[in-house]
Chains A and B, each alone.
Chain A
């Protein structure tokens, strides 16, 4: 019984971090119709920003916003100087379909090797603001600590803020309009290009939080070659696809589903299936319900 509860708790916490990555992927997809495979690289870079802030200012609560702002700035920069140019140049031709994919992969490689050559390939350590020792329930220790509670609360607050932004503000309205139809949005006076940059920087901030939390939730260390990084690389994409790529709610659900499935597979089947399990989940979702759990029927065609 206690094992079941622990598995659930671990799954939900990990899933909420995947949800943040998935939100980042969805935000970019909605604004530019590109799957950003470099998102994990951007999260990596922002986590290193956060690490620098930790080293100099020694406070997680300063490091987190520093990472978010840094991530947003990097994402906006990439959208402004790189993606615009790319989308304009590769609009037609034989490889127009694959050019953005290849380009974001190249970006991932550039960010990754830049980060390793600046900070070295070694692990960096980021200590969480509260302890990661589990609460105790009678004689048992739960796999749920003040830190995990904090992660969960922060993620919920961020998702709520984001959905408020999308549903209630003018900015959110223009974000939704540009995602729905760039041409119509442009005709009604929305600066679609600016909105795209905004979408990317929101995604960058969201990925930064995911990177920071993934680091403190694991063993507190992070490097371009770590398992945490590989996991961010695939989990965001898979969770976003499970959720249907087009909806923020779907991304959250997708992240939670992915986190829970991985956690149950690890606990009850075999821990060596750690990396192959996400792949299997992805294939099952793509075959059974390619439009995702929430996505509209046409989502896959776009």
Chain B
């Protein structure tokens, strides 16, 4: 496993951002919009990787945390006219607060119990949004970040503006997360996941460390929720169905939950699946009811196949194969 020097890694992120910037000027509108979706999914999936792969907790309720972020950003924007940048920070803070509450509960639960509890939350929470008039009921709220600044030129489109915002947010949060995961906290999480008792004997407060993981993961999820509602333009209960939580989990498993470096794989796949499903449906001339259900079918099938055959994700698989080859050479 090679490690970059910190400054080198920062340069790498900046270079990647620059490439994205060049790309965004060359591709058409649809691709730019998909790019924005990929950036949003990258953030959401990395929050699940942090939680599941590093600290070993399963959450099926991340859709609910995304919803918290999206709603709080929209309320801050509509009711209090907060600047857009601050809205995103508010989304992070609100979702992180929800994450603390959930994390305190989660730290006392193990595996299937936590999964079931968060599942119940994911089903329950969005329906609560209908109860408060400030949240706009079934129609939801409008979340408008405004037009791109004029200084960017006349023909700078709205979608490109979305892409810039979400790609920048994704780059910054990836940079921060990769550092957090390498830090003492990241090591504590992994220790607690591998062997809780051993970690405790080594002086790690595993309960507190789990709550911290949940909080950070929730904050990141909140950011992606706010960005998601930015690209859609509205926030409503139906934008955060149980299927969203499931597809995020699928994205995380596809990327390989034990490492952050594969996160693009999952995000690109999630965005590509509807298109692939379209192509397949056209090719076989499927009826409408099959066409609408094909994306869901592909997502779930991929999830099962990955869990069965590449449980640690393609990146880790590649790494361990390389390590094996090296060993054989030495012998």
Q: Is the CB of B127 within 8 A of A95?
A: no
Q: Is the CB of B127 within 8 A of A275?
A: yes
Q: Is A130 an interface residue (CB 8 A)?
A: no
Contact of B290 among A112, A117, A237, A300 (CB under 8 A): A117
In whole angstroms, what is the CA distance A93 to B258 when docked?
Answer: 10
Q: Is the CB of A101 within 8 A of B111?
A: yes
Q: Is the CB of A279 within 8 A of B117?
A: yes
Contact of A113 among B52, B113, B300 (CB under 8 A): B300
Whole-angstrom distance from the CB of B31 to the nearest CB of chain A? Answer: 27
- Nearest chain A residue, comparing its CB with the CB of B118: A279
Q: Is the CB of A237 within 8 A of B116?
A: yes
Contact of A274 among B127, B193, B257, B303 (CB under 8 A): B127
Interface string of A69-99 (1 = CB under 8 A from B): 0000000000000100110011001110111
In whole angstroms, what is the CA distance A237 to B290 when docked?
Answer: 30
Name the segment of B146-154, B169-177, B307-315 touching the other chain.
B307-315
Whole-angstrom distance from the CB of A248 to the nearest CB of chain B? Answer: 19
Interface string of A215-237 (1 = CB under 8 A from B): 00000000000000010011001
Interface string of B112-124 (1 = CB under 8 A from A): 1101110111011
Q: Is A120 an interface residue (CB 8 A)?
A: yes
Interface string of B273-309 (1 = CB under 8 A from A): 0000000000000000110111011011101100111
Q: Is the CB of A94 within 8 A of B289?
A: no
Name the segment of A103-111, A154-162, A190-198 touching the other chain.
A103-111
Q: Is B161 an interface residue (CB 8 A)?
A: no
Residues in A neighbouring B131, C-beta threshold 8 A: 272
Contact of A286 among B108, B111, B115, B125 (CB under 8 A): B108
In whole angstroms, what is the CA distance A108 to B303 when docked?
Answer: 11
Residues in B neighbouring A109, C-beta threshold 8 A: 243, 246, 296-297, 299-300, 303
In whole angstroms, what is the CA distance A286 to B308 when docked?
Answer: 31
Residues in B neighbouring A93, C-beta threshold 8 A: 311-312
Whole-angstrom distance from the CB of B126 to the nearest CB of chain A? Answer: 9
Q: Is the CB of A241 within 8 A of B128?
A: no
Instruction: Count chain A CB atoms within 10 A of each CB in B105, B113, B246, B300 and give the residue with the most.
Output: B300
Known A106-B300, A276-B124; judge A97-B311 contact (CB<8 A). no
Q: Is the CB of A283 within 8 A of B105?
A: yes
Q: Is B110 an interface residue (CB 8 A)?
A: yes
Interface string of A231-254 (1 = CB under 8 A from B): 001100110010000000000000
Contact of B296 among A94, A112, A276, A282 (CB under 8 A): A112
Q: Is the CB of A272 within 8 A of B127?
A: yes
The A interface, classified by DSSP as helix, strand, loop or mixed, is helix
Known A105-B249, A274-B127; judge A116-B293 contact (CB<8 A). yes
Q: Is the CB of B299 within 8 A of A234?
A: no
Q: Is B260 an interface residue (CB 8 A)?
A: no
Residues in B neighbouring A99, C-beta threshold 8 A: 307, 311
Residues in A neighbouring B246, C-beta threshold 8 A: 105, 109
- Of residues 116 to 145 in B, which have CB atoms within 8 Å of A's CB atoms? 116-117, 119-121, 123-125, 127-128, 130-131
In whole angstroms, what is the CA distance A90 to B306 when docked?
Answer: 11
In whole angstroms, what is the CA distance A177 to B111 when docked?
Answer: 25
In whole angstroms, what is the CA distance A279 to B124 when docked?
Answer: 7
Q: Is A128 an interface residue (CB 8 A)?
A: no
Instruction: Count chain A CB atoms within 10 A of each CB in B105, B124, B194 and give the residue with the most.
Output: B124
Contact of A102 among B242, B307, B312 (CB under 8 A): B307
Known A102-B303, A114-B297, A276-B125; judge A94-B312 contact (CB<8 A). yes
- Nearest chain B residue, comparing its CB with the CB of A276: B124
Whole-angstrom distance from the CB of A188 to the nearest CB of chain B? Answer: 29
In whole angstroms, what is the CA distance A123 to B109 when docked?
Answer: 37
In whole angstroms, what is the CA distance A272 to B137 when docked?
Answer: 12
Residues in B neighbouring A272, C-beta threshold 8 A: 127-128, 130-131
Q: Is B73 an interface residue (CB 8 A)?
A: no
Residues in B neighbouring A97, C-beta threshold 8 A: 56, 111
Interface residues, chain A, CB within 8 Å of chain B? 34-35, 37, 82, 85-86, 89-90, 93-95, 97-99, 101-103, 105-110, 112-114, 116-117, 120-121, 230, 233-234, 237-238, 241, 272, 274-276, 278-279, 282-283, 286-287, 290, 300
6 contacts between A and B (CB under 8 A): A95-B53, A105-B303, A106-B301, A110-B297, A230-B242, A272-B131
The 9 A-B residue pairs with the shortest CB-CB distance, nearest first, are: A109-B300, A106-B303, A113-B296, A35-B112, A106-B304, A117-B293, A275-B124, A276-B124, A279-B120
Q: A114-B297, A234-B123, A282-B117 are in contact. List 13 more A-B contacts (CB 8 A).
A: A86-B307, A93-B311, A98-B257, A109-B300, A110-B304, A112-B296, A234-B120, A238-B120, A241-B113, A274-B127, A276-B125, A286-B105, A286-B113
